[in-house]
Amino acid sequence: MKCEIIAVGSELLTPWRQDTNSLYLTERLNQIGVRISFKTIVGDRQHDLVSTIATGLRRSDILILMGGLGPTEDDLSREALAEALGVSLRRDGGLVAALSMRFAAMRRPMTDNNLKQCDVLPGSIVLANANGTAPGQWIDTGFEGHRKIILMLPGPPKELKPLFDSDCMPRLRGILPVRNIATRTLKATGIGESAADALLAPIYVTFTDVETTILAGHCEIQLQLTCAKRSMEAAQRRVNELASRLEEALDQYVFSSDGDSLEQIVVYYLELKQETLAVAESCTGGLLAQRITSISGSSRSFLGGAIVYSNDLKTAFTGVPPSLIQTHGAVSAQVAESMARGIRENTGATLGVAITGIAGPLGGTDEKPVGLVYVALSDAKRTFSEECHFRGDRENIRLWASQKALDLVRRRLM
């Protein structure tokens, strides 16, 4: 069963825009056992579209067309699909009436070009679009002696996603063999991809019925576990068995066994353990606080903090003695610890965390190179710091520094 996704739109062939709908569709389709064999991106040109669709019909069983359903001259998906199938479009009276009412309700005149949105393929099922004017279409037809399922979906993500979930997933389930697919996502930080694979491969290779994928990126590794069985219970059981074994092996490196982000985990445990947190950031300049406050509800445990880019502010907001900065430098374990202690005391939080370092690309020296970062944690009992050496560009170093700080907090809480 081959499935192909075709994204339609000349803007998707520029340097500035990219198809992202297909990632969503792929995730949903994988859940019902459908893998993607091809993705094609094609512009708003009739000839190119027809040839792309014809190629898709020859090599795939399920064809998903996204975009090109609007009212403008550039919207050619309906016409191109009809030409590729060798059939004629039919204007649907019911759709015309509904569209006219929609415009009347908005008190806007309906120009004639809108009518093409009411053209349907023979035998198609119209999929009502609750979030836009152009309906989708489901076509179950034959092509050169083979059964083909063709979906035409609107391009805007806010229209496509709900339409696919409500109208396409149940229909696809209905025609596909019953497969129940259980998935689990483990996340770990502080360990590299190859070290993790060396540690985990001896375990996951023995689970021949569970597919394990290791992905690295954004300062963490993800383990994607997938298992397909006749019964969902059996699939879930195998995924959970493997997940437990991998978690045990990864030990403290694992921070999430169900896909949560590190900031979600930190916010969750802060509240659970009834702790409060404040931060003092130098080189990350607000990135750590921004990540924490991106989580709704973080205000219950996160008090705030200070961005102490200048040395004066390190003293004013976190009480670092100017002499400490003079003696050890602003990027030092001593200053990081003083910042963590100071921000905790000045805010009344139970935990203080601080970051000071050199994010680059300028400002490094032989003694204190770009990428040198001190991360400190302070609670009522003790204050300590870790010296880190991060690689990459400014963005990467800042991201790793914030990750390390979040992970220090997580380990303290768990």
In the complex, minimum distance from the CB of residue 376 to a copy of itself, in angstroms, rounded to a whole number: 17
- For 99, the token pair is 């569209």
In the complex, minimum distance from the CB of residue 281 to a copy of itself, in angstroms, rounded to a whole number: 7
Which residue, 244 or 294, is less far from a copy of itself as judged by CB? 294
Beta strands in 154-271, from DSSP E residues, in sequence order: 180-188, 211-217, 220-229, 254-256
Which residue, 135 or 255, is less far from a copy of itself as judged by CB? 255
Q: DSSP letter at 275?
A: -
409, 266 Cβ separation under 8 angstroms: yes
- For 50, the token pair is 């027809």
Which residue, 124 or 301, is less far from a copy of itself as judged by CB? 301
Which residue, 26 or 141, is less far from a copy of itself as judged by CB? 26
Which residue, 135 or 371, is less far from a copy of itself as judged by CB? 371
C-alpha span between 374 and 388 (Å, rounded): 6
Cis peptide before 156 (omega within 30 of 0): no
Which residue, 306 or 409, is less far from a copy of itself as judged by CB? 306
Which residue, 235 or 358, is less far from a copy of itself as judged by CB? 358
Which residue, 176 or 303, is less far from a copy of itself as judged by CB? 303
C-alpha span between 42 and 48 (Å, rounded): 7
Q: In terms of Cα–Cα distance, which of 405, 374, 119 is closest to 286?
A: 405
306, 342 Cβ separation under 8 angstroms: no
Cross-strand pairs, 296:
none
Burial class (CB in 10 A: 0-12, 13-18, 19+), 3: buried
C-alpha span between 340 and 17 (Å, rounded): 42
In the complex, minimum distance from the CB of residue 21 to a copy of itself, in angstroms, rounded to a whole number: 11
351, 412 Cβ separation under 8 angstroms: yes
Which residue, 78 or 314, is less far from a copy of itself as judged by CB? 314
In the complex, minimum distance from the CB of residue 125 to a copy of itself, in angstroms, rounded to a whole number: 26
For residue 405, how many other CB atoms are within 10 A of its CB?
Answer: 28
In the complex, minimum distance from the CB of residue 32 to a copy of itself, in angstroms, rounded to a whole number: 13
The DSSP string of 105-167 is HTT----GGGGGGGEE-TTPEEE--TTSSSPEEEEEEEETTEEEEEEEE-SSHHHHHHHIIII
In the complex, minimum distance from the CB of residue 27 to a copy of itself, in angstroms, rounded to a whole number: 4
In the complex, minimum distance from the CB of residue 88 to a copy of itself, in angstroms, rounded to a whole number: 25
In the complex, minimum distance from the CB of residue 211 to a copy of itself, in angstroms, rounded to a whole number: 11
In the complex, minimum distance from the CB of residue 111 to a copy of itself, in angstroms, rounded to a whole number: 16
